[in-house]
Amino acid sequence: MKAPIVRIAMAALAGMTLLASCTTMPPLAATAAATPVSTPTPRAALGYVVGADLSFLKQAEERGTKFRDAGVEKPGLQIFRDHGYNWIRLRLFHTPTQLPNNLAYTIAEAKAAKALGFKFLLNFHYSDTWADPAKQTLPKAWEGKTHAELVQAIFYYTRDTIAAFRAADAMPDMVQNGNEITPGMLWPDGRLPQHWDNFAELLKSAIAGVDAGRGDAPRPLILVQIEKSGNVAATKYFFDNLIQRGVEFDVIGQSYYPWWHGSLLELRDCLDFMAEAYRKPIILVEVAYNWRPTEYRNAPAPYPETPAGQREFLEEVQRAVLATPHGLGKGIFWWEPAVPSGRLRNRGMFDDEGNALPVIDVFDKYTRGKPPARTSP
């Protein structure tokens, strides 16, 4: 199946390159009007998300990393499925030169996850490398473009990317247009707080591209992710400005790493605020904690940085999400639980020998219930 996936991805990338090279592009409204959008298949209601960002998993396994659950070696995706995980999150870079997360790689991993019954959140970074609060660097292919040209480029790129996933039978169920976009995106044009109107126009164009690329597939949910889960004032400032400018989206996403974002009490306050103020589903789209000393070597930790402490942390975060008013706490994604050796493994769910840590089974009690029907002897 790899060859068709690669051909689809290469065709999509070729189309994007051609579009990016054009010096005259039609207005966005005309482009969207010229792209027929079928009536979507009805979309199922958003159930509770037990998720993991496994963007490095495919690379880890291809390089020989083995993962074991209760001493039994299994594919990483299967281990998470066995423990109730029902969503996978995958990031996508525009044209990465050092990281694996290009279109062909991401389509392949999405197809593998879909085959096991996972739903799929696609995370556009709109950069050739990490986009986050410290940097939102333009893809090299878009350098030198005017604001109007960037609005067109993000529309075409998003549209063609979504079409490539649809053609590969790996359609995302949810899309986030940008990663941790509190500081905006596509700097300097969409940088915040300097250019709110530019940023809103870029984000609207990206969201329109999702709809234009889906064809007759169900419309993916649109999630907007920031990283202010312990800061009510900053969360209010961002989403009030976004909504005032008419950006339409379905789900609020927040990152929560306590060493950056604050205490569990601050998290609870923010969850309560978002639920009451915006009445939208809320997902903690990046969560992690270390199982050995890393972030709290010289400061008091909320939980010990041990395997047991890591598990206890996720248990408490889960309780906080479930307690969100109006039932609007809709789940958690653990960020990168299955990686090769290195610093990131400190916050993963496997030890240095690839054995699953106690945190792996936190969701067992929430996702296991009625056993399969027994057949008569």
Closest CA to 255 of 154, 340, 131: 131
Contacts of 237 (CB under 8 A, 6+ apart): none
Domain range annotation of the chain: 2-21+53-366
Residue-level pLDDT at 377: 61
Please give the Cα distance from 34 to 41 (Å, whole number): 21
Q: Which of 286, 305, 312, 336 is catalytic?
A: 286
Q: Tell me what pLDDT residue 39 has.
A: 54
d(CA 174, CA 222): 6
Max Cα separation, the chain? 72
248 is catalytic: no
Question: How far is the CA of 240 from the CAs of 142, 269, 275, in angstroms?
Answer: 29, 17, 14
> Distance between alpha carbon 363 and the CA centroid of its chain, in Å?
20
pLDDT digits (tens, 9 = 90+) for 141-184: 999 999 999 999 999 999 999 999 999 999 999 999 999 999 99
User: Distance between CA 77 and CA 82 in Å, rounded?
Assistant: 9
CB contact set of 123 (below 8 Å; sequence gap of 6+): 53, 55, 89, 90, 91, 92, 176, 179, 225
How far apart, in whole angstroms, are the C-alpha atoms of residue 94 and residue 138? 9
| Sequence-separated (6 or more) residues with CB below 8 Å from residue 255 | 180, 225, 226, 227, 229, 261, 284, 285, 286, 287, 335
**One digit per residue, pLDDT tens: the chain, 377 residues?**
434 433 444 444 444 443 333 333 444 544 444 444 445 555 668 999 999 999 999 999 999 999 999 999 999 999 999 999 999 999 999 999 999 999 999 999 999 999 999 999 999 999 999 999 999 999 999 999 999 999 999 999 999 999 999 999 999 999 999 999 999 999 999 999 999 999 999 999 999 999 999 999 999 999 999 999 999 999 999 999 999 999 999 999 999 999 999 999 999 999 999 999 999 999 999 999 999 999 999 999 999 999 999 999 999 999 999 999 999 999 999 999 999 989 999 999 999 999 999 999 999 999 999 887 776 66
Q: What is the pLDDT of residue 376?
A: 61
Among residues 260, 357, 350, the alpha carbon closest in space to that of 307 is found at: 357
- Minimal CA–CA distance to 200: which of 273, 249, 252? 249
Question: CA 35: distance to chain centroid?
Answer: 26
In angstroms and rounded to an integer, the radius of gyration of the C-alpha atoms of the chain is 20
**In the annotation, is 295 catalytic?**
no
The DSSP letter of residue 96 is -
Phi-psi map region of 233: left, alpha, beta (phi>0 left; psi -120 to 50 alpha): alpha
Which ranges of 214-263 would DSSP assign to H, the alpha helix? 232-244, 258-261
Taking the C-alpha atoms of residue 358 and residue 364, their distance in angstroms, rounded to an integer, is 11
pLDDT per residue as tens digits for the range 212-236: 999 999 999 999 999 999 999 999 9
Enumerate the β-bridge partners of residue 255: 286
Q: Which residue has the tokens 């799929």?
A: 120
Which CATH number does 2-21+53-366 carry? 3.20.20.80
195, 293, 350, 360 from 79: Cα distances, Å = 44, 25, 11, 9
Report how far apart, in Å, the C-alpha atoms of 358 and of each of 57, 60, 303, 311, 344 are. 19, 21, 15, 6, 17
- For residue 250, the SS3 value is coil
pLDDT at 62: 97
CA distance 142 to 153: 8
